[in-house]
Amino acid sequence: CHVLDEEYAEKMKTSLQEKFPHVTITIDEIGPVIGSHLGPKGIGICFYNF
């Protein structure tokens, strides 16, 4: 997830895909509640184990 920095989010996605090729990675924008605390250019990474 990102706050107004899709370019950096894409770089992070590429880096993570190289390290974890078997994992599905998606990019979304952070919502206003968390985004207001992180500020512009904030990045969040979440893992789900199914």
Residue 15 binned pLDDT confidence (cut-offs 50, 70, 90): very high
Rounded to whole angstroms, how far apart are CA atoms 17 and 37?
A: 28
pLDDT value for 41: 85
- Whether 40 shows a pLDDT value over 80: the answer reads yes
Domains of the chain: total: 1
Could you tell me the residue range of the domain that residue 25 belongs to? 1-50
Residue 50 binned pLDDT confidence (cut-offs 50, 70, 90): confident
Does 14 or 29 have the greater pLDDT score?
A: 14
Give me the mean pLDDT over the 27-50 stretch: 86
Angle at CA of residue 3, ends 39 and 28, nearest 5°: 150
DSSP string, 1-50: -BSS-HHHHHHHHHHHHHH-TTS-----BPPHHHHHHH-TT-B-------
